[in-house]
Structure 1
């Protein structure tokens, strides 16, 4: 009886280990969520600082701007570009030059830089700035310009039409210009003309055209006899291993003065014949 009484009066011991374990897990999760929700330091960073592209294609960078302060800030975006270069900033698809950021916010900014097609192959440094009343971030991008091929065809005067008399020849001068940064080799000229028309090029092939240079090509256009007067379309093209281009040219065909006089004589002869027939047979 005494032994049972002792066992009944014993108090159970309380264990605080599960409580402390739960408290530690809650504190860790709270700390991690706080780390994700609120960045600890403001910054302006780029995923890639160095991008390589030809001069006729844009350089595209992806940057991240972070406002870790406790106040709303307006950041102005600016860049120092070489002469003739252009830059644009996009946020969520819209073009911007500044961005308002709430406290603890991080924003992706897409940057697109374009250089002149005549830019020489080289490495160019592009300093960027994102400034606010309390921050002054600087980021230096690098654009590596590769050589590019580009060809343009026009005329020395810019005129893209001319007149020619039916059954005669006409000389047209075309101008080829290498607007890229690399030389073009073995340029061959050709044409697409109305039926029975002919075109002869002088020269017909250009061995090499240096970057930024131009050359004139003479086209001897032969229009067949008895071609009906009117407007005709001719297309001239030039091809190389790296670049091609073409040019549409309007040809206005006119009849010769002799043909006009012959036509008038035929008309007058017909009128005279009708008059003679009326005088001779009209009274019967």
Structure 2
């Protein structure tokens, strides 16, 4: 038995029309999107506008410059600084003073600012500008100076020399001072010595030193036996994450008195032996 199928042209046309309408309505969604042309307003911004640091540290700002215009332009970077301050601009690690900006381009710029050595604690406004022939973009940064870090290491008298005998040890007094306006924490004391020399500090670490305060350090220095007499250099350093202070000492090594007498005795014995041999065998 065969089943007979019948097709109604009017129904087919109606279904085709529905499918055509669906495809037409979906058309704008399927079409590829083209990038919007550059336009709008250019900008100059920073992630952090206000940074606090010591006067002898670097104020680092991360900024972003955007050219929203439809044409390329060269942007010159300028800033107004307090007297004695310095600024540098870096793009991808390279120091620059200006840069070319293509249409729609966005560029990250690192700004490093150094305060003057005698900058007083306080807030300093740093106006920074990106200037082109047709536009000026401004950015108002703030550097807050909270003080300064300073550390010195010397002897109480200021004398940086000592005399030791070969094979002996000497105790040397050192003076560690906080010469800044901010507290110093976790100060380590280390040494750089000639081979086989030894140095110990008491204390070997200072946990806290307030501004203007000093700490006495006792250094025990040992010179190995048979060290040749002469002048030697020994460097002692006080350091923490905020700075370091080296003190280079001139160490004069002398031979001991006993060693000198032994040397003289050996010479006299040698002369006596030669004299004896001449007297005994000289006439033969």
Q: Tell me which interval the TM-score lies in, with the shorter structure as reference length.
A: 0.5 to 0.7
Counterpart in the other structure of 1:210: 211
Unaligned runs of 5+ in 1: 1-6
3-state secondary structure, aligned to 2:113: strand
Residues 26-41 of structure 1 aligned to structure 2 (within 5 Å):
29=33, 33-34=35-36, 37-41=37-41
Separation (CA, whole Å) in 1 of partners of 2:180 and 2:59 = 17
Separation (CA, whole Å) in 2 of partners of 1:161 and 1:250 = 5
Tell me if 1:78 matches 2:92: no
Give per-residue Cα distances to partners, 1:87-139, cap 9 Å, x unaligned.
22122232211101122322221222233566444222111011111111211
The answer to whether the Cα contact below 8 Å between 2:72 and 2:101 also exists between their aligned partners in 1 is: yes
Note closer, same or farther for the CA distance 1:180–1:84 as it changes in structure 2 (3 Å cut): farther
Counterpart in the other structure of 2:140: 140
Counterpart in the other structure of 1:95: 95
C-alpha RMSD over aligned residues: 5.2
The answer to whether the Cα contact below 8 Å between 1:200 and 1:219 also exists between their aligned partners in 2 is: yes
Separation (CA, whole Å) in 1 of partners of 2:265 and 2:129 = 82
3-state secondary structure, aligned to 2:69: coil
Separation (CA, whole Å) in 2 of partners of 1:186 and 1:23 = 69
**CA shift for structure 1 position 251:** 1.4
Note closer, same or farther for the CA distance 1:223–1:45 as it changes in structure 2 (3 Å cut): closer
Note closer, same or farther for the CA distance 1:187–1:29 as it changes in structure 2 (3 Å cut): closer
Separation (CA, whole Å) in 2 of partners of 1:189 and 1:45 = 44
The answer to whether the Cα contact below 8 Å between 2:201 and 2:218 also exists between their aligned partners in 1 is: yes
**CA shift for structure 1 position 86:** 2.8
Pairs aligned (count): 264
The answer to whether the Cα contact below 8 Å between 1:75 and 1:101 also exists between their aligned partners in 2 is: yes
- Per the normalisation by structure 1, the TM-score is 0.64
**CA shift for structure 1 position 26:** 7.9
3-state secondary structure, aligned to 2:41: coil
